[in-house]
Structure 1
Amino acid sequence: MTDTRRAIPTFHEQDEQTIRRLRRAERGKNIVGEEESEEEFQDMEERSTNPPEGGANNNPQQRRVLASYTFANARHYGSSILSPNVNANNFELKPQLITLVQNNCSFGGGPLEDPNQHLSTFLRICDTVKSNGVHPDIYKLLLFPFSLRDKAIQWLETFPKESINTWDNLVSKFLAKFYPSQRIIRLKTEVQTFTQMDAENLYEAWERYKALLRKCPPEMFTEWDKLQNFYEGLTLKAQEALDHSAGGSLQLMKTVEEAQNFIDMVANNQYFFAHQRQRQPSQRKGVLELERVDTILAQHKVMQ
């Protein structure tokens, strides 16, 4: 016997589109009990557009018009440096510390500015600040943006939000930008080809040479290379004066550390006597020259 009753189809619980179509069909037939209030229909429309959290959503992705791609999104704004977590409850970045960095350690990224010197000055300031339970790198990460200006701060802002999360990562990116390999090679060449100028005394040559070394990476030259480059760049007269003061030969009589201290002492003495001559009246020039010679001879006897 054939069952003439019409089978009632079963639909998925979340297939709102099919449910709405059937509801409209039932309302069109004016079947009692199948009418749907306008509020229920609107509620179903809202659920289909905004499904509840955690529920399955089989509907296609919501349409997005072209203009929406130009809208600003607040989630993309903020510092490129991730703010570190601080366990100390009393931690505070004081305005006086920020002002100290801005007034004494400012780097703009210009071609004549020294990124090595900037980092040295910045770290020296950060080393003066210590707090219990606060890692030193936290101060460095939070303070470093305040030490930049002009092109340098614009460069820092080009990185995505919170993409820099360690101090080592920040330093690596900073040196790669403002201390490229071409600049390092040029500085290395300047040190290796250093030459004392004709009108330059030992003190001036030594200070200029040390200024070149400070611009180079610390591991570029050994201590022996530094002294050897300087000695070979001196004039023959300056080499003879150093050898004589060293007791015959700077190369044979002094170790690396002793030679460096010895050159410092001779250069500083020369600087001292040069300023002493400038302060004294011209009529005492002959007396001062004799005193200078006697002092050098006395120092030479003491060293021997």
Structure 2
Amino acid sequence: MANYDGNNIVAPVPRWEDIQRPMILASRSCIRLSEKMRNYEFKSKHVKALPQFSGHPIEDPLGFIKEFYLAVSTLPLKGLTEEELKMRCFSHCMKEDAREWLLNLPEESLTTWVEVYEAFMLRFYSPHQIEEFREKIFYFSQLHGELFHETWERFKTLLNQCPHHGFTNLMLSEIFYKALTPFYQTQVDIAAGGYGGNVTAIEKMNVYEKLARNSRLKGVQGRRVEAHEVGTRYGNFNGAFAKGTNLNHTPNDFLHGIQPQPQQPSSMISKIDKLEDMISKLVDIQTNAQHAQAATEAAIKNLEILSQEIIQILRTNL
């Protein structure tokens, strides 16, 4: 409490306990908000619609900004411009390390959305990342067993992660073409009207889009056929376990990738049964033939003996 010496008010002498208690003074945000922005009615459903960014190295700052723009575009303006609404919403998206970064910025140092955006990108999107993305784009290649549409989508995702890569459309169309296997390069050549083709970069990109649509359609159909074949082949697997059949495998083996011996389809079993019957009949025929041959040889031998006896009797009578 201040003291009065009769003429002036004397400031109180600091006490030891005063410096032991933390004093938090009113602090303004680093983003300067007008009265209109401060009075914007922010509901809980609005906060839930906004993406979150924590500032971790594995997070994608550009991806967050794109999601942020999309989320803000769905909110009511209520007298604000879209830039003002972005400034009003931005602080609600920052969590953990990103939140700490935002709190440490000087008060009201960011007065426009452009300044907020530049400060954010300068902190969380480093030039080193740009160089890494450019190298990934330049040395892009199709993976083993990858379908055309999967390669094309992966390439476009890479471009979206670094929109300021600096490559022209002509260079990008050539990079993607060289990344393909010879088989898919041939498909591109045919679709473009021959090798190289008298087409522009945009036209070649459209060729990639068309081939990707066809590849996606065939890929889905192929997976459906494959799933049907797998289901037919292993259709009785779960039923066998339910009935207690011993397949020399456990469900855990199946989950860990150890495949059970496939059960034969009923048509195959029927054919195997028929084959076994035919083999049995052939064995019987062969056995009967052997018996018949033995009987014939015995009859011939008996006939020879009988003939000799008849000849001997005739000689004796004569």
The reply to whether TM is greater than 0.5 is yes
- What is the alpha-carbon distance in structure 1 between the residues aligned to residue 18 and residue 168 of structure 2? 59
Moved more, 65-74 or 183-192: 65-74
CA pair 72-265 structure 1, distance change in 2 beyond 3 A: same
CA pair 47-167 structure 1, distance change in 2 beyond 3 A: farther
SS of aligned partner of 1:86: helix
Q: Aligned to 2:207, which of 257, 262, 267? A: 262
Contact 2:29–2:108 (8 Å) recurs in 1: yes
What amino acid does structure 2 have at the position aligned with 1:237? F
What amino acid does structure 2 have at the position aligned with 1:129? L
Question: What are the within-5 Å matches in structure 2 for residues 196-215 of structure 1?
Answer: 196-215=142-161
Moved more, 274-283 or 136-145: 274-283
Deviation of 1:253 after TM superposition, in Å, equals 3.0
Corresponding residue for 1:94? 43
CA pair 71-173 structure 1, distance change in 2 beyond 3 A: farther
Question: What are the within-5 Å matches in structure 2 for residues 231-270 of structure 1?
Answer: 231-249=177-195, 251-270=196-215
Per-residue Cα deviation, 1:68-94 (whole angstroms, up to 9, x for no partner): 6776444353433222231898x4222
Deviation of 1:62 after TM superposition, in Å, equals 9.3
What amino acid does structure 2 have at the position aligned with 1:84? S
Corresponding residue for 1:189? 135
Q: Aligned to 1:222, which of 150, 155, 168? A: 168
The TM-score normalised by the length of structure 1 is: 0.65
CA pair 277-233 structure 1, distance change in 2 beyond 3 A: closer
The TM-score normalised by the length of structure 2 is: 0.63
Corresponding residue for 2:98? 152
- What is the alpha-carbon distance in structure 2 between the residues aligned to residue 88 and residue 81 of structure 1? 11
Deviation of 1:189 after TM superposition, in Å, equals 0.7
Corresponding residue for 2:293? none
- What is the alpha-carbon distance in structure 1 between the residues aligned to residue 144 and residue 154 of structure 2? 14
What amino acid does structure 1 have at the position aligned with 2:211? V
Structure 1, unpaired ranges of 5+? 1-41, 51-60, 284-304
- What is the alpha-carbon distance in structure 1 between the residues aligned to residue 33 and residue 159 of structure 2? 35
Corresponding residue for 1:83? 33
SS of aligned partner of 2:166: coil
Per-residue Cα deviation, 1:40-73 (whole angstroms, up to 9, x for no partner): xx96x354236xxxxxxxxxx9987898677644
Deviation of 1:243 after TM superposition, in Å, equals 0.5
Structure 2, unpaired ranges of 5+? 231-318
Per-residue Cα deviation, 1:234-284 (whole angstroms, up to 9, x for no partner): 2222212210122213x433222222122111112112112112223449x
Deviation of 1:152 after TM superposition, in Å, equals 1.6
Deviation of 1:216 after TM superposition, in Å, equals 0.3
Moved more, 145-154 or 171-180: 145-154
Aligned residues: 226
Question: What are the within-5 Å matches in structure 2 for residues 117-156 of structure 1?
Answer: 117-131=63-77, 133-156=79-102
Deviation of 1:147 after TM superposition, in Å, equals 1.6
